[in-house]
Chain A
Amino acid sequence: MKKLLGLAAVFTLASSLSAFAFEPNNTECIAPANPGGGWDFTCRQVGKTLQDLDLVPGTMQVSNIAGGGGGVAFAEVVGKRNSENNLIVAASSATATRLAQGAFPGNTMDQVRWIGSVGADYGVIAVAKDSPINTLPELMEKIKADPSSVSVAGGSAVGGWDHLKVLIAASKAGVEDVRQVKYVAFDGGGEAVTQLLAGSVQAFTGDASEAKGFVDSGDIKVIAVLAPERLEGDFSSFPTAKEQGIDVIGANWRGFYAPGDMSDEAYAYWVDAVSKVYSSDEWKEIMAQNGLAPLDLQGDEFQAFVKESIDSITDLSKQIGIVK
């Protein structure tokens, strides 16, 4: 940590002397989806914080390149903008999931440089407030006894992150054939929660932030948080899956990647800028407001983390038959 601080100090000094090897200008953040989603949010909020902290000159432009669940933007960056130094792209667990499942045809994680994370939204598994189920093991027992009696709703497509979280939990809980777990895909976490309230489905899998409004109002019961430790604030009263003997962590991380041929100087600059954003007070406030939990990984550490998550998702996807 001391070393990191020292490094940061050197960087600050260097940039104030304008002797930094890389000078950002006309910076751009690509949100690989339409306005309004999580990636758009990541770009806009980080862009605003970068501006407020004077880490970039002027404003950071946000472009929305939607399509293919982020695949269009990935292909665009790899194919056409591979050596730009002023460009970063928002990414999340969904990006890793799709890379792992080969859903970006012809693209792999090695084609870009991974910069760092700015936080994580931990997964939750919830049931309606009047459900007889109170704990995660109870839910899993019910699935084991009769898989057709429990429909789990989530906001991502089959094979997407919301689906995989439940499957990881089920396999850790001893469900032998995880393909039996019934998963119903909705257009976003909000619709999935609504169907839980409407009684169409028996359980919900999603991110903590998606469930927040309904947890506050008491309409749903969170039976497990898929985090290493209990979350802070409103979610502190809910047990983790680990506490209940099912060791599963499902973090929807948010972060950035950069073009593969970005210069080392520029890469160092962006890693530094993102870590400064992460440790700023402004960002802490934004994280608290949006239910983001800490996940502090930059540079090589982040690269290794992404690689590891892609490998484990590949294994699981093979197991459930999404990837052959």
Chain B
Amino acid sequence: MDTLASLADGFAVALTWQNLMLALIGCFLGTIIGALPGLGPSNGVAILIPLAFTLGLPATPALILLTSVYYGAMYGGRISSILLNIPGDEPALMTTLDGHPMAKAGKAGEALAISGLASFIGAFFATWGLVFLAPQLVKVALLFGPAEYFALFVLAFATLGGIASRNQAKAALAAVIGLGIATIGVDGQTGVPRFSFGEVHLYDGIDFLVAIVGLFALSEVFIFLEHRAGSGADDKAVKVGRIVPPWKMVRETLPAMGRSTIFGFIAGVLPGAGASLGSFISYTFEKRISDRKGTFGKGDPRGVAAPEAGNNSAAGGALVPMLALGVPGSGTTAVLLAMLLALNITPGPLLFQQNPDVVWGLIAALFIGNIMLLAMNLPLVSLFVRVLLIPTRYLMPAVAMISFVGIYGISGSTFDLVVMVIFGVMGWVLRKLDVPLVPIILGVLLGDQMEKNLRRAMTIHDGDWTMLFNSWLAIGLWAFAIVGFVLPLIVGRYFRPKIADEAIAEGSDPD
């Protein structure tokens, strides 16, 4: 009951007019920032830190503003994923898989509403998890050594087949391209630069955001140029569809949201895993569990609900190691951590005792922000879907402009712009060849961490491979990985002919 009393104190701290206004501003800005390709939660928070300083805000209001931006951006990332097939940030990547097909089928409004609801449920329960489980969850994070992390990433890769329904070989090729890109840069375990060609810009590797914006946003612009440039006319018949999803759809997606909230939260709690892994695992497992008719990837509402619940609950989960250990689980929490340090608050095991007003005020603010986001996002759905009514010939130049400005804003270097254009051309070519783009990004995101952890485990145990199976947790993760990889091969025999037929019949889009 102490916990609830502390939480009540937290609400007392958070519920002032000033803080509510800050939360509202933060949620609004966050949603916009999340929706813009190239600007993700970590840039959003970083951009607003000077604002918090300039306003001279004390610790709690400053944190309320910034975490509202954080949660808002997690909500907002889905909007461009669904409407434009361009992920607004890394964790929103998986939402493109079913969200965009829904939008193309005239269900954009429903997809946005369902994903908004899923975001709310994921974030809401993750915040409760933060309230009650933070001290215990820290122990879970401590069970994961390099060998266990490696097994976890192997598990993620083993389920990769889950995201491409048709051509597994092309999905595997895409993942390998991603893994290759992930090896660029200085290798931490030897200090030697790899594939950098003496170019200092490549020493830190390729930024995920540059790759995402290039592959998704710019290649979309190139495709548009190829097909429509010069014609001027826009023959796209846009159907906006209904805004409020039918109750039946909500009921069907609820179990998916529930499961994904749990997967996402666990992924978020592990430092070095984070929201991208959360939404990825949520999606692939949901597909394994409930995709009986092969509708995932073609606009299944559950395929929208799962990753959105997953990434928002991972965002909440990532605050656990940040607050309780001082270890950021994601880029955004790294920025928040820096902010806390600048405010003279040292996150760590004693934070809950030393600065209870800050911690509980922050948690209360998360609840408030969350409800605000739901209340703000649902009515705005009708506004967002109007993006689809904008003729492509006006929309695409805007996409190109936002991409360039966004990427330049992150690093301030023109080199990244060139890399982005190269990725754009690559994305265009790969789309022509029917190679899915999502596994490339997953290869970059997960491959980097997978390699690092394997190398760490090998260094610690002097190259003894058997040490990768040295704990029950690792063995369990390996078992899941093997089952996840092998089972669909056996079970898939019964389903595959049917799925293949459907795919051919529909002749649908490669991504």
Contact = CB atoms under 8 A, between A and B. Distances in A.
A19 interface: no
A157 B186 contact: yes
Contact of A190 (B191, B326, B349): B326
B50 interface: yes
Interface residues of B, number: 56
B344 interface: yes
B167 to A, nearest CB: 34
B398 interface: no
Contact of B412 (A65, A190, A214): A65
Contact of A195 (B53, B145, B193): B145
B200 A41 contact: no
Contacts of A157: 186-189, 191
A219 B139 CA distance: 13
Given A182-B459, A190-B325, A213 B347 contact: yes
B344 A67 contact: no
Interface in A16-54: 34-37, 40-41, 44-45, 48
Contact of A213 (B145, B326, B415): B326
Nearest to A151: B460
A201 interface: yes
A105 B460 contact: no
Contacts of A14: none
A198 interface: yes
A130 interface: no
Interface in B159-199: 186-191, 193, 198
B346 A45 contact: no
B349 A219 contact: yes
Contacts of A105: 198, 200
Interface stretch (B8-16, B305-313, B330-338, B376-384): B330-338
Given A36-B338, A41-B338, A200 B145 contact: yes
B411 interface: yes
B188 A185 contact: yes
A290 B341 contact: yes
B142 interface: yes
Given A159-B191, A194-B327, A66 B146 contact: no
A174 interface: no
A45 B346 CA distance: 17
A64 interface: yes
Contacts of B337: 36, 190
Given A148-B462, A157-B188, A290-B341, A187 B200 contact: no
Interface residues of A toward B: which range?
35 or more
Contacts of B459: 151, 182-184
Contacts of B42: 34-36
A194 B139 CA distance: 10
Interface in B441-485: 452, 456, 459-460, 462
A52 to B, nearest CB: 11
B204 A69 contact: yes
Contacts of B510: none
A199 interface: yes
B191 A160 contact: yes
Contacts, number: 161
B338 A67 contact: no
Given A69-B203, A213-B348, A76 B413 contact: yes
B201 interface: yes
Contacts of B325: 190, 193-194, 213
A158 interface: yes
Nearest to A45: B342
Interface in A106-127: none
A213 B50 CA distance: 25
Contact of A158 (B142, B144, B190, B460): B190
Contact of A44 (B53, B189, B452, B462): B53
A148 B461 CA distance: 8
B188 A158 contact: yes
B427 interface: no
A76 B186 CA distance: 20
A214 B349 contact: yes
A72 B413 contact: yes
A65 B411 contact: yes
B350 interface: yes
B26 interface: no
B49 interface: yes
A191 B327 contact: yes
A101 B338 CA distance: 28
A324 B430 CA distance: 41
A135 interface: no
B413 A65 contact: yes
A40 B404 CA distance: 23
Given A103-B203, A158-B190, A184 B460 contact: yes
A182 B460 contact: yes
Contacts of A68: 200-204
A184 B346 contact: no
A158 B189 contact: yes
A63 B189 contact: no
B214 interface: no
B327 A199 contact: no
Given A187-B452, A214-B349, A67 B342 contact: no
Given A67-B413, A76-B413, A148-B462, A198 B142 contact: yes
Contacts of B347: 213
B46 interface: yes
A172 interface: no
A157 B452 CA distance: 11
Interface in B28-51: 42, 46, 49-50
28 contacts: A34-B42, A36-B46, A44-B53, A48-B53, A62-B50, A64-B410, A66-B411, A67-B203, A67-B204, A68-B200, A71-B203, A103-B193, A157-B191, A158-B189, A182-B459, A184-B459, A187-B272, A190-B271, A190-B337, A194-B271, A195-B146, A197-B142, A198-B145, A200-B145, A212-B348, A213-B326, A219-B349, A290-B341
Given A34-B331, A198-B142, 15 more contacts: A36-B331, A44-B53, A64-B410, A65-B413, A68-B204, A71-B203, A103-B203, A151-B460, A157-B188, A160-B191, A188-B327, A190-B327, A198-B143, A213-B348, A289-B344
| 10 nearest CB pairs, A to B | A213-B348, A35-B46, A159-B191, A217-B349, A200-B145, A190-B327, A68-B203, A71-B200, A68-B200, A36-B338
Interface of A: 34-37, 40-41, 44-45, 48, 59, 62-69, 71-72, 75-76, 101, 103-105, 148, 151, 157-160, 182-188, 190-191, 193-195, 197-201, 212-214, 216-217, 219, 289-290, 322
Interface of B: 42, 46, 49-50, 53-54, 141-146, 186-191, 193, 198, 200-204, 271-272, 321, 325-328, 331, 334-335, 337-338, 341-342, 344, 346-351, 410-413, 415, 452, 456, 459-460, 462
